[in-house]
Structure 1
Amino acid sequence: MDLKNTTHKTIIGAAQNMHQIDSNSIDLVVTSPPYPMIEMWDDIMALQNPKIATALTNNEPHLAFELMHLELDKIWKEVARVLKDGGFACINIGDATRTINSNFALYPNHARIISAFQELDIPNLPNIIWRKQTNAPNKFMGSGMLPAGAYVTLEHEWVLIFRKGGKREFKKPEDKLRRQESSFFWEERNIWFSDLWDLKGTKQKIDNSKSRKRSAAYPFELPYRLINMYSLQNDVVLDPFLGTGTTALAAMTAQRNSIGYEIDPKFLEVINENIQTTSLADLNSNIDNRINSHREFIINRQKDPKKKDIKHFNAHLNLPVVTSQEKNIRLHYLNEIINEDDQFRATYVEYSPSEDGLPHVLKKSINQAALSKL
C-alpha cells in the first residue's frame, strides 16, 4: 500500500449505474446531490424522468417531489452496493421552499433521503446541521412584523450521516497503525463531532462553464472535515455528484484516493481546471492551519491553571498532544498533482517541523516553560 501517492478519477456518466466500481470497495461517500424542488435543478431532474416536468407544469408539486427522489433512490441503492461494511455515507442536502400555484410550502428533502436509506437497511446516525452564514439584510419571508403571515427563515442545511453495517474493524497491524496515523486532534474532535456547524458558503458562480452557471458547491471545509472524521489515509472516497471537484480536492489534501461521477460531460473541463489551478500552497494551508491551531490550543490550555498537565507527545509533529491516541498522527503536504490521462495522481512529503521552520519542543520538557517557546 503506497501512502505517498493517491489517485483521483472522474467518471462522466449518471451515478444511477456505477458499474465501473466493484461492490464493497468504497470506504466513504461524501456528496451533495441536486436538491429536489429547488428550481435550478428542475431541468437536470427532468432529463432523468420527463414525468417530473409534466408534474411541475400541471401544478402537482408533491408528485414532482416524489419523482425527483425516486431518481435519487437509484443512486442511494448504488451507494449501498459499493460501500464496504462499516463504511459511511455523508450527504449534504437542503430542504426546499417553493411557491407553486400560489401555495408556499417546504419540501423536506432530508427526511425523504433518510427514509430511502432506511429502506436499504442502512441506519441513520446522528446528523449535522450546517447553519449557513448569511449577510442578507432582509432574511424573513412573509409579512414583516404582522402576525400570522410570516415564515421562519430557512438558514440551514443538513449533513446526513449513514453507516452500512456495524463498526469498521481494524484487525491487521498495518490497518491499526494507519488508523492511528490518521487520527485527529482532541480539540478537533470536539468541534467536528458537534451536531451544529457554522461554516460560510462558497462562491456559486461558474465563469468557465459551457453548461450551468451556478455550481451549488459546498465549501472545502465541509468535505475535508468529513473525510478526516470518517476515513483513513489512503482510503477511497466516492462522490456521485462531483460538480466542480471540491470533494476530490479535499480528498487529495487529506491523503485519500477519490472517485467522482459527473452527469454533465461539459463539466469535465471545469473539474480538471479547478484541480489544476488550485495552488498547492492553498491546499497545504489546511495542514498548516490544523497544526497552528493545535499549537495555539496547547499554549492556551497550559496557561489555564485549572487544566491538567499535558503528558503525551507526538514525535512526528514535535508537539504535545492531549491523549495517547494522538501520539502517532502523521500529516503530509501535497508535493505534486500530476494529470495522467483519465485521472490525477497526487504525491506527498511528510510534514517536518524543522523543514517548516517551527521551533522544537523537547520531549522531556513538556511544561509551561517549554510551551512558552512554541
Structure 2
Amino acid sequence: MRTNHALHVGDAADTSLADESVDLVVTSPPYPMIEMWDDLFSARDDAVADALDSGDGEAAFEAMHAQLDSVWDEVARVLRPGGIACINVGDATRSLGGSFRQYPNHARVLSALSERGLSPLPDIIWRKPTNSRTKFMGSGTLPSNAYVTLEHEYVLILRKGLPRSFPPGDESRYESAIFWEERNQWFSDLWEFTGTGQRLESESRTRSAAFPIELPLRLIRMYSVYGDTVFDPFLGTGTTTIAAMLAGRNSVGYELESSLVAAFDERLEDIPARSEREVSQRLADHRRFSTNRATQPSYDADTYDFRVVTKQEKQIQLYRVASVSGDDEESETTYTVEHTPVTSLPNSHDPVASDNVDATGDDDD
C-alpha cells in the first residue's frame, strides 16, 4: 500500500484542493484570546489589535474568530458528503479591561461550522491536567471570587450531510476496523492524557502545547479507512501528517509559517521504527486482552493467531511503514510512504511483512 502526503506553505482559507476531495479533517486552530496568538491574529487584522488595546474582549474575540471563519468555509467546501471534521479547540480565560472572564472558543467554532452546513455529533472532552491539586485561580479559600481551574479542551466532531455509505463487504473498511476494546475506550466522551509541550522558536512566534500524536491517531482510525485523505488546515509542527502516515491514510496540510514546514523532515527519521513499535504494541495488547478475557472471544481473526469479539473485526489488517521519501517542489513538499502488511504477532521476534510484498514494499499487484 502506498500513501501520499503534501505540505503547503500558505493560507488554508484559499487552498488548491478540489471540491469534496477530503474524507476527514483533523486539526487544532490557534485559540482566540490565548495571549500567545495575539500577534498572529493582530498581524492579519488591525481590528484585533485595536480591540485588545482598548480592552474590548468581545470585539477582539469576534475579530479573531472571523479569521478562522474563512478557513471553515474552505473545510465545508473540500469535505466530501458523509465526511467528518474533528476540531480540537480549547476555551480561553483572560483579564482584559479590568475584568476576568472565559471566552467560549468551542461554542463559537461549533456555531460557525453548523452555519456552514455541518451537523454536530457528540463531542469529546479531552482532560489534560497540567496544574497541581493545590493550584487555583482567584481569591484562594475565601468565597466567592475563586475560579475553577480550566484543564480540559474539546474535540468537536461534525459530519457533512448524511452518514457515509460503503459497498457491501468493502475491503478497505473491514481491514481498517479497530479492536473491540479500542472502540470501547476511544468512543468514550472523556479522554485523559497529557498534552505535548513543544517550544519551537521561529522568526515570528513561539509555538507551544501541540496536541500529542495519540489524539489525531485515534481520530483518524475512528473516522476514516485505509487510503482516505486527511486534511489539516492548521498543520503546525505536522503531527496530523505523522499520524496519517502511521495510520495508512493520505494527507494534506497547510501552514502559514514556512519554518515549521521546513523543519518537518526532522520528525520523519524514526517513522519506520515508530510504526513497527506501534503496530507491535496494538497486536500485543489485543492478544493480552483476548487471552485474559473471562469469556473467550467468539471469532478467529483471518490474519492473526488470536480471537476477536465481533465478526466485524475478523478482517483487521495492520500495516507498518516501510519507507518514506520526500520531494520539494515550488509550491509544496510531498512525501510518498510505502506500507507493508504485518501478518505475525509480536513475541520473541519482531513482526514481519507479508510474503507477497517485494523488497521495495510494493504489492505484487
Task: Give the Å deviation of 1:271.
Answer: 2.2
Where does the alignment leave 5 or more consecutive residues of structure 1 unmatched? 361-374
Q: In the alignment, which residue of structure 1 is the partner of 2:171?
A: 177
Aligned to 1:118: 114
Instruction: Give the drift of 1:118.
Output: 1.5
SS in 1 for 2:263: helix
- Return the letter of the residue paired with 1:344: Y
Q: CA deviation at 1:315?
A: 2.4
Contact map agreement 2:283 2:346 (CA 8 A) in 1 = no
Q: Give yes or no for contact 2:26–2:231 (8 Å, CA) kept in 1.
A: yes
- Does structure 2 retain, via aligned residues, the 8 Å contact 1:178–1:233? yes
CA contact (8 A) 2:124 2:189 kept: yes
* One of 51, 57, 62 as aligned partner of 1:55: 51
Corresponding position: 1:190 with 2:184: yes
Partner of 2:222: 229
Task: Identify the residue that residue 40 of structure 2 maps to in structure 1.
Answer: 44
Residue of structure 1 aligned with 2:213, choices 220, 224, 241: 220
Q: Does 1:79 align with 2:99?
A: no
- Give the 5 Å matches for 1:1-374: 4-18=1-15, 20-136=16-132, 138-171=134-167, 176-206=170-200, 209-274=202-267, 276-301=268-293, 304=294, 307=295, 309-341=296-328, 342-353=333-344, 357=348
For 1:32, give the aligned amino acid: S
- In structure 2, stretches of 5+ residues that fail to align are 352-365
Q: TM-score normalized by structure 2?
A: 0.91
Q: Which residue of 2 aligns with 1:365?
A: none
Q: Is the 8 A contact 1:215 1:244 kept in 2?
A: no
> Residue deviations 1:156-215, cap 9 Å, x none?
000000000001011276xx11100000000100000000000111122226x4443323
Alpha carbons 2:213, 2:239 under 8 Å: kept: yes
Deviating above 4 A after TM superposition, structure 1's stretches of 4 or more consecutive aligned residues are 354-360
- The question of whether the paired residues in 2 share the 8 Å contact of 1:215 and 1:243 is answered with no
In structure 2, relative to structure 1, the CA distance for the partners of 1:121 and 1:355 (3 Å cut) is: closer
- Name the amino acid aligned to 2:161: G
Alignment deviations for residues 37-69 of structure 1 (CA, whole Å, 9 cap, x no partner): 000011111122111111101111100100111
Alpha-carbon distance between aligned partners in 1 of 2:62 and 2:206, rounded to the nearest angstrom: 26
Q: 1:355 and 1:113 mapped to 2: Cα distance?
A: 43
Question: Residue by residue, what CA displacement relative to the aligned partner does 1:85-137 show, whole Å, maximum 9, x if unpaired?
Answer: 00000000000000012210000000001111121121110000000032535
Q: Distance in 2 between matches of 1:343 and 1:65?
A: 35
CA contact (8 A) 2:280 2:346 kept: no
Normalised to the residue count of structure 1, the TM-score between the two structures is 0.89
Amino acid at match of 1:78: E
Question: In 2, are the aligned partners of 1:253 and 1:284 still within 8 Å (CA)?
Answer: no
Structure 1 position 143, deviation (Å): 1.5
Identity %: 48
- Amino acid across the alignment from 1:345: T
Structure 2 distance, partners of 1:215, 1:249, is 18
Secondary structure, counterpart of 1:123 in structure 2: strand
Corresponding residue of 1:367: none
2:361 maps to none
* Paired letter, 1:319: F
Contact persistence 1:243–1:271 (CA under 8 A): no
d(CA) in 2 for partners of 1:203, 1:359: 31
Residue 316 to residue 210, structure 1, CA distance change in 2 (3 Å): farther
How many residue pairs get aligned? The number is 347
Q: Secondary structure at the match of 1:161?
A: strand
Residue 237 of structure 1 aligns to a residue whose secondary structure is: strand
**How large is the RMSD of aligned CA atoms in angstroms?**
1.8
Spell out, residue by residue over 1:243-294, the C-alpha distance to the aligned partner (whole angstroms, 9 max, x if none).
00000000000000000000112222122322x3344222332222211111
1:7 aligned partner, one-letter code: N
- Matched residue SS, 1:318: coil
Output one character per residue of 1:4-57: Cα deviation in whole Å (capped at 9) or x when no partner: 111111011011111x10000100000000000000011111122111111101
Question: Matches of 1:320 and 1:116 in 2, distance apart?
Answer: 44
Q: Is the 8 A contact 1:22 1:82 kept in 2?
A: yes
